Amino acid sequence: MKYYKIECEDKKGGININPTYEIPTIPYKILDSTTDLILNNKFVISKGTKLYDVLPFEKHFGNIAISRKLKNYLESKKISGWSCFPIEIKGIEEQYFAFQVLGKSGKIINLDNVNTSFEKPVKRQIIASTIDGSDIFVVEETLNVLIKEDLANDLKKEGFTNLIVQDIENSFEFI
């Protein structure tokens, strides 16, 4: 099976958001089902003026909010491995949702060898059997959110704004 990485493009002029509630964990973690932001869901615009389907959290790297349009699309296709909750963004009338990645895979097993050679880059290796079968999943102990190929193709066709769907064939290997 082939996988792709998704992330926010963070286009110039695009809105970035921050929670008004200080998350008591480090900012290098993808939101899961236990996040305190579910109950403390107030956000402010930290920069930018343009609304897109995907808005990045400025201080909490890798985390995003998604538009109602993208949420409805994922629900209509019965995509697994994710959830979301409504957030309020001061100054924005449109409804956005904090995106949670619930699907998981194991760790990168050769992390000590990755990027040690500029002449011959080493692919990040993940044991394929550690992927929980979800359409969307996060690689354990990283901010890498990966998706199945059919979902990647569909997302590209739909043209959601500020969303990068990146081929990872040259950077990841599933063994």
- Flag whether pLDDT at 85 surpasses 80: yes
Of all residues in the chain, the percent with pLDDT exceeding 90 is 85
- pLDDT at position 118 is 67
pLDDT average, residue stretch 63-89: 98
- pLDDT at position 67 is 98
Pick from 96, 91, 81: nearest CA to 134: 81
pLDDT average, residue stretch 142-157: 97
Quote the tokens at residue 94.
């449109």
- pLDDT at position 27 is 74
Of 17 and 26, more confident: 17
Pick from 146, 138, 166, 165: nearest CA to 28: 138
Predicted structure pTM score: 0.93
Q: 88-138: per-residue pLDDT in tens?
A: 999 999 999 999 999 999 999 998 887 666 677 789 999 999 999 999 999
Q: In the chain, what are the domain boundaries?
A: 3-174
Quote the tokens at residue 42.
């107030």
Of all residues in the chain, the percent with pLDDT exceeding 70 is 96
Helices (H) and strands (E) in the chain, counts: 2, 13
Q: Compute the residue count for the chain.
A: 175
